[in-house]
């Protein structure tokens, strides 16, 4: 029986809170309160739809750095995550793109957020930011120092990225789980909104029958039933937005039925 400390029941649904551009990023609009209000509204809508958790992510800060984000990104995300935490009672996660696991754990620790998602914990991928290497060493040491109880979700062969050479997703998944120190694995398609290759899910599930698996992109009502055969956590971003457009606010009418279907799949 698979379990995860952050979610009482599985399968669970997690909705994305995609932050508008933050201060310091190229498209920053100049009004921090507007950023906070947008984030809190999306978080509240997701909770009204019944999600079990939300992930707060600086998705609009592109182009991203492949290394550590600037202090202004840490400070601004901390304010947003803190305000989301005040507004909703579900588990809150932090993803500090593109791969700043240390900052994500730091923000989560300071705000009391329960989990983080890290794009590349082990191995290395060629991404739109260049070569990104695993950060499991730094993350696991920081975790043991400041927040041993935090839950880590980590991608396996993350989206918007290619392996540097031949790479077996089953082996990478096992190493990320056993040597990288993650608590759950995230499997995604090739990019944001793209469906997951079912063969990948089958391979990882066969490789790790008892390990929690989450979807990282492209879950829709059409493929949900098939996905739920393999997944313990469904992370939904794009599909929950108005008209399925990433930049738009979360749409309660789209989110609620899908959440209900996931919850109905619980045994």
- Supply the minimum distance, in Å, between the C-beta of residue 23 and other proteins: 4
Nearest CB to other proteins, comparing residues 22 and 214: 22
Can you tell me which of 45, 103, 122, 188 binds other proteins, judged by CB under 8 A?
Answer: 103
Can you tell me which of 45, 60, 78, 127 binds other proteins, judged by CB under 8 A?
Answer: 78
Q: Does 109 bind other proteins (CB under 8 A)?
A: yes
As to burial, measured by CB atoms within 10 angstroms (0-12 exposed, 13-18 middle, 19+ buried), residue 261 is: middle
Q: What token pair was written down for 250?
A: 């979360």
Nearest CB to other proteins, comparing residues 39 and 227: 39
Can you tell me which of 40, 62, 66, 110 binds other proteins, judged by CB under 8 A?
Answer: 110
Interaction mask 22-61, other proteins, x per CB under 8 A: -xx---x-xxx-----------------------------
Interaction mask 139-178, other proteins, x per CB under 8 A: ---x--xxx-------------------------------
Q: Edge to edge, what strands does the sheet with 124-127 contain?
A: 130-133, 124-127, 161-163
- Supply the minimum distance, in Å, between the C-beta of residue 201 and other proteins: 33
- Supply the minimum distance, in Å, between the C-beta of residue 95 and other proteins: 14
Measure the CA–CA gap between 94 and 55, rounded to whole angstroms: 5
CB contact at 8 A, 263 and 51: no
Nearest CB to other proteins, comparing residues 6 and 79: 79
CB contact at 8 A, 84 and 36: no
Three-state DSSP at 234 gives strand
Measure the CA–CA gap between 27 and 18, rounded to whole angstroms: 14
State the angle between helix axes of 198-207 and 169-178 in degrees (0 to 180), rounded to the nearest 10: 50
Q: In angstroms, how far is CA 235 from the centroid of its own chain?
A: 7
Output DSSP code: residue 244.
Answer: G
Give the CA-trace dihedral at 212, 161, 20, 100, to 10 degrees: 70
Q: Does 189 bind other proteins (CB under 8 A)?
A: no
The count of chain residues that interact with other proteins, using the rule CB under 8 A, is 30
Nearest CB to other proteins, comparing residues 32 and 194: 32
Binding residues for other proteins, rule: CB under 8 A, are 23-24, 28, 30-32, 68, 70-72, 74-76, 78-79, 82, 100, 102-103, 105-107, 109-112, 142, 145-147
């Amino acid at each position: 029986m698979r379990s995860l400390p952050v979610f009482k029941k599985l399968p669970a649904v997690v909705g994305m809170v995609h932050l508008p551009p933050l201060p310091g990023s190229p498209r920053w609009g100049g009004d921090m309160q507007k950023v906070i209000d947008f984030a809190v509204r999306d978080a509240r809508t997701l909770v009204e739809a019944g999600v079990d958790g939300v992930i707060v992510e600086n998705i609009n800060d592109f182009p991203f750095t492949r290394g550590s984000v600037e202090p202004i990104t840490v400070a601004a995300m901390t304010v947003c995550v803190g305000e989301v935490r005040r507004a909703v009672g579900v588990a809150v996660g932090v993803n500090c793109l593109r791969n700043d696991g240390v900052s994500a754990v730091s923000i989560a620790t300071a705000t009391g957020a329960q989990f983080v998602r890290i794009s590349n914990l082990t191995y290395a991928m060629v991404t739109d930011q260049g070569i990104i290497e695993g950060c499991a060493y730094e993350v696991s040491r920081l975790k043991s120092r400041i927040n041993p109880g935090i839950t880590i979700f980590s991608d396996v062969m993350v989206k918007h990225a290619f392996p540097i050479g031949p790479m077996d997703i089953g082996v990478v998944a096992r190493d990320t789980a056993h040597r990288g120190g993650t608590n759950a694995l995230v499997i995604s398609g090739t990019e944001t909104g793209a469906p997951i290759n079912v063969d990948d899910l089958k391979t990882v599930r066969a490789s790790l029958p008892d390990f929690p698996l989450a979807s990282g992109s492209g879950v829709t009502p059409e493929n949900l039933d098939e996905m739920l055969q393999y997944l313990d956590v469904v992370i939904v971003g794009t599909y929950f937005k108005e008209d399925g457009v990433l930049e738009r606010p979360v749409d309660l009418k789209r989110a609620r039925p899908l959440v209900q279907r996931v919850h109905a799949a619980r045994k």
